[in-house]
Every structure is written in C-alpha cells, then in structure tokens.
Amino acid sequence: MSDALPSGWENAKIGTLCDLVNGMAFKPTDWSETGLPIIRIQNLNNPNAQYNRFDGEVSHKHLVANGDLLFAWSGTPGTSFGAHIWNGEPAVLNQHIFNVLFDRNLISQDFFRLAINFKLEELIDKAHGGVGLRHVTKGKFEETEITLPPFAEQHRIVEKIDSLFTRSTRARDELAHIPRLIERYRQAVLEAAFRGDLTADWRGDAQGDELPHSWRMVDAVELFEEGPTNGYSPKAAADGQGTKSLKLSATTTGSFILNDQTIKRLLENVGPDARCWLRPNDILIQRANSLEYVGATAIFDGPRNQYIYPDLMMRVRIPSPATRMLFWYYMNSDIARGWLRDRPPPIFLPIAAH
C-alpha cells in the first residue's frame, strides 16, 4: 500500500489552519454566583461538573459561543487533554484552554476535533512537566501536522466515524448484558435439571411440576461423610506470619479462587490437629454474608493442610465425586439460594479451632 495521500488531500500544520486564543486567568476571588459560566477543563470532561461564574467585563476574544472548538492543553495525561466542541450557553474561557478559531468554510469543526484528538498521544509526548501534571505549549501545538482532505470528504469521514462509533457503542451495551443472560440461562438449566426435566426423555417420564417417580427428597446431611463444620477466625494482620486462612472472596463466585486477594495471614499458628485444615475436594458453603451471597458454595482444590477456612463458612465432605458435583450445582442454583434467603437467619456462635 502506498504512503502517498489521496488526490486532493494534504498534510498541514495546525498553526497554518487556525488562530489560538488562550483563556483568562481567573482567581477564586473573581468567582460569583451570577454572570457567565467559566469553562474549565473539568467542564469539558464532565458534563455534570459545576460551573464557577464571572460577573464582570470580558474581552470579546475570551467569549465562547455554542459550536466553538476548544482544546484543553494542560493537566493529567489520559483525563485532561483533548479537543471538544462547546455545546452550551455563551460562556467565558478559563486559562489552560485554547479557543481554536478557523475558517469553517474550509474545515469542518467535527473533522478538526477528530483530527486533533487523533494526534493526542503525539501532543502529550511533546508536553512539558512531570508525570502527574503536564502542558502542551502553543508552539508545539501549532507545529503538529494533521492530514486534511477536501471539505466535502471531511463531512463524509465524520459521518462514517459517527456511524461506526454508534455501532461500537451499541455493541458494547449489548455485550454488557451477556453476563446476565448467561447467568439467567445457567440458572434455567439448573432449575430444569433439579426438576428432572433434563433427563425426562432418558427416563421416559413426562415433564411436570412433580418429581420423577424414581427420585426422592433427602436431607442434605444424608450425603455428608463429614460436617457441616464451621471454620475458625482468629485475628489476622497485614504483617501476620501465622497460618494462611481463606477470605469469603475465595468462594463468593461459586468457584474456588486462590490468590493474594482471597487469603490472609493470621497472627497465630493453628495447630496441625485442628479440624479447620482444608484438603482437596472439601466443599465450602458461605453461611453468613450479604443476602445475595449466603449459600455460595465452592469446592476447594488447593493443597492439603496449608489453609484453614473462616467461621463465616462451613465445610462438608462428600466422598462420591458425582454426588459432590451434584450438590455443588444444587447449592449454586436459585432453588437452593432462594430457599436459604427465605429462611430467617440462624444464630451462629464462634467455635475454637480444636
């Protein structure tokens, strides 16, 4: 592909296309409750930011009208810099913002905004100052080149970019719904499974509200080889050097997560014979948390006898792998979680490690 520009296009320095007018240097003592709003950088980046106002004489060059192109040239990279089209009432411009004045019969203000923002990283690289606060000088800004197509093509480019951005925004909004749809589908599958519907064809039964004739209701405790047993929660500390204990966040999702954010160090060392040591395939159930997480169940798959669990969890052990997985699925279904939410909370008493 050739690097040559399309016919009629040109590279031009920003300074040859416009005049730049910097805003006024207002002091807090200049602010008032009435008068023209003062456009500060936060008002460009946050439409909900409050305005300070100025009720005094203002030079015409510092006045901003609806549709003016403004460029914030000072602040924090990633949050402050950028070109914006003012869409508001008449206002007065604060310092650290240029009003970009140009011939609108030759350059579309929407295209100019996009072209400047396309060069934003290059401009920030040229900016003076430290990591936290930097500023682009007028000279550096004016020397920066943009690519300028013919006027009619500028409008077509803006329309195409707006269309693509609209589709991108719509796609992002739709993607945001996917986790909820997946969870809803997951819960529907679990509900059908524990109603017997998923295996109705295999059994030759009709689907319905009643349990299949070969099924029976059992107390969960009948499945347990051991438990339920509450955990142990002695004091922990950031500089603790004692036993490693799980946090609730290790099992809140319904899957076991083991990392620096889901464990804590205790101030004491729990004895090797304590019953709160975990081993692979232990089932952990949250017995106390905010209501939406009560009953969250995960299967421990960490190393044997290296972690204990807190007293806000209880542990059960089920020897059969198939039954263990069936119980895990059931406990993370809306059927079980709803049952737990509808019951009044029991009173839990702390227990010792031994």
pLDDT in tens, 141-182: 999 999 999 999 999 999 988 888 888 878 777 777 777 766
- Whose tokens are 């107390």? That residue is 219
Q: How many helices, marked H, and strands, marked E, lie in the chain?
A: 9, 20
pLDDT exceeds cutoff 80 at 49: yes
Tell me the range of 25-29, 48-52, 112-116 where mean pLDDT is highest. Answer: 112-116
Model confidence pLDDT, tens digit, residues 314-340: 899 988 888 888 888 888 887 777 777
- What's the CATH code of the domain at 298? 3.90.220.20
Q: What is the pLDDT of residue 38?
A: 92
Write out pLDDT tens, residues 179-223: 776 667 666 666 666 655 555 555 555 555 566 666 667 777 778
161 with 132, same domain: the answer is no
pLDDT at 102: 95
Mean pLDDT value of segment 288-308? 85
**Cα(30)–Cα(18) distance, integer angstroms:** 30
Domain-located, residue 348: no
- Report pLDDT digits (tens) over 81-93: 889 999 989 999 9
**Domain, as residue range, for 168:** 150-217
Query: Is residue 7's pLDDT more than 50?
Result: yes
- Please name the residues in contact with 280: beta carbons below 8 A apart, sequence gap of 6 or more: 300, 301, 302, 303, 304
Do residue 23 and residue 102 come from a single domain?
yes
Amino acid at position 65, single letter = A
Report pTM.
0.54
Are residue 31 and residue 90 in the same domain, yes or no?
yes
353 assigned to some structural domain:
no
Q: Which residues contact 32 (CB under 8 A, 6 or more apart)?
A: 53, 54, 55
335 and 237 in a common domain: yes
- Is the same domain home to 315 and 264? yes
What is the number of structural domains in the chain?
Answer: 3
Asked if 121 and 155 sit in the same domain, the reply is no
For residue 351, tell me if it sits in a domain.
no
Helices 109-118, 151-195: axis angle to 10 degrees equals 70
- Domain limit, last residue, from 123, 149, 175: 149
